[in-house]
Amino acid sequence: MVSFKSILTGAVLALGLSTAAYAEEKLKVGFIYVGPTGDFGWTYQHDQGRQAIEKELGDAVETSYVESVPEGSDAERVLTQMALSGTKLIYATSFGYMDAVQNVAAKFPDVRFEHATGYKQADNVATYSARFYEGRAVIGTIAGRMTKTNKIGYIASFPIPEVIRGINSAYIHAKRVNPDVEFKVVWVYTWFDPAKEADAATAMIEQGVDVIMQHTDSPAAMTIAEEKGIYAFGQASDMSKFGPTAQLTAIIDNWDPYYVARTKAVIDGTWTSGNTWDGMKDGMVVLAPFSDALPDDVKAEAQALADSIAAGTYHPFTGPLNKQDGSAWLADGEVADDGTLAGMGFYVEGIEGEIPN
């Protein structure tokens, strides 16, 4: 009887050990996306990062993803499900997942979370984002040079610091090369809704806009720009196949190196929480090739600006800069600190309109 019991215990123990060993062999990595992987913008680019992990780390990892997860309580359910199914590293790739990540992370201390564009960290929650505003500075310069009507359209998603920062950076640099430039900002209150994005683009074009920038995820605006014969910039991903003549360049989010490095850190046991905010210098923000529609001097100017940002010799938010209400923000030569940028809730001087609440 005793022997039978010990055999049984031994068997159970062996079974437990073997699953543990198996789990150690293959790290389960999960992704939750706010849009479909085929949006050819934001989510597409994160999924490229997921594929990069699989390619680089091969048999050491097993990745999975859930797409089109709404921000809010659904996200919490999906995250919990992932954590329960043995996923040890979860990338949550939208700002609005922030509280869901915090809640689930508190319940699963042994699961590591990586939250994109958020600002709340924990022992097992790291945040990461890219300095998209560096790219915005370059496309702002190009837009200022290329507009003939001096009206630049900006399709904005939600009034969060990330988006406001982009508008400011683009405006400052467009204004610098073209003092007559005017920004028309339209808030669509969605990250992904091709029909709405297209309608917003159409509305702007009908009001005389001839260069469009966007901070939404689908290439719908690019398609409309191509159809109406105006210019636009790709967002998150190279959208040139949607606008072969319309796209002047694109800000590409390159998550691959970060995803591979962080996943590797979990495997090696060196992962720690933290906040990563990389830009052009680190290759997290990349510009698509400039269009041939750009005159050589504009190309050179844009390239020089991109190079100086990448080299660290120029910061897109360098004073003198005032806030929209005219109050002083940055003195001459002063550079904005990351804290202010991360929580940016105001327009710079010259932008018309108010930021909705």
Partner 1 sequence: MDLSTINPVLLIASLMVAATPIMLAAIGELVVEKAGVLNLGVEGMMIIGAICGFAIAVETGSPLLGFIAAAAAGAVLSLLFAFLTQILLANQVASGLALTLFGLGLSALIGQSYAGIKPPPTPKIDIPLLSDIPVLGPILFGHDLMVYFAIFLIAAVWAVLKYTRLGLILRAVGENHDAAHALGYKVVRIRILAIMFGGACAGLGGAYLSLIRVPQWTEGMTAGAGWIALAIVVFASWKPWRVMLGAYLFGGVTVLQFNLQAAGVNIPVQYLSMSPYLITILVLVIMSSSKARSAMNAPAALGRIFHATH
Q: Which residues bind partner 1 (CB under 8 A)?
A: 35-40, 68, 153, 184-190, 192-196, 198-200, 202-204, 206-209, 218-220, 223-224, 226-227, 241-242, 352-354, 356
Instruction: Quote the least distance from Cβ 68 to partner 1, whole Å.
Output: 6
Instruction: Quote the least distance from Cβ 288 to partner 1, whole Å.
Output: 14
Would the CA dihedral through 244, 247, 248, 252 be positive or negative?
Answer: negative
For 9, 13, 275, 287, 304, the CA distances from 4, given in Å and listed in that order, are 9, 14, 53, 67, 77
Nearer to partner 1, 219 or 316 (CB): 219
Nearer to partner 1, 28 or 196 (CB): 196
Nearer to partner 1, 19 or 207 (CB): 207
Residue 305 exposed, middle or buried by CB count within 10 Å (0-12, 13-18, 19+)? buried
For 91, 93, 105, 254, 265, the CA distances from 108, given in Å and listed in that order, are 14, 19, 5, 29, 19
Nearer to partner 1, 169 or 223 (CB): 223
CA-nearest of 118, 123, 93 to 31 is 93
Q: Which residues of 56-92 are buried (b: 16+ CB within 10 A; e: fewer)?
A: bbeebbebebebebebeeebbebbeebbeeebbbbbb
Distance separating alpha carbons of residues 172 and 351, to the nearest angstrom = 9
Write out the H or E segment, with its range, that includes residue 308: helix 296-311
Instruction: Quote the least distance from Cβ 94 to partner 1, whole Å.
Output: 15
Cα 355 to its chain centre, rounded Å, is: 21
Nearer to partner 1, 140 or 219 (CB): 219
Instruction: Quote the least distance from Cβ 230 to partner 1, whole Å.
Output: 14
Instruction: Quote the least distance from Cβ 45 to partner 1, whole Å.
Output: 14
Instruction: Quote the least distance from Cβ 42 to partner 1, whole Å.
Output: 12
Instruction: Quote the least distance from Cβ 247 to partner 1, whole Å.
Output: 12
CA-nearest of 32, 27, 90 to 62 is 27
Nearer to partner 1, 138 or 212 (CB): 212
DSSP β-bridge partners for residue 89: 29, 112
Instruction: Quote the least distance from Cβ 142 to partner 1, whole Å.
Output: 21
Nearer to partner 1, 195 or 293 (CB): 195
CA-nearest of 231, 318, 321, 263 to 128 is 263
Distance separating alpha carbons of residues 141 and 159, to the nearest angstrom = 23
Nearer to partner 1, 47 or 253 (CB): 47
Cα 325 to its chain centre, rounded Å, is: 29
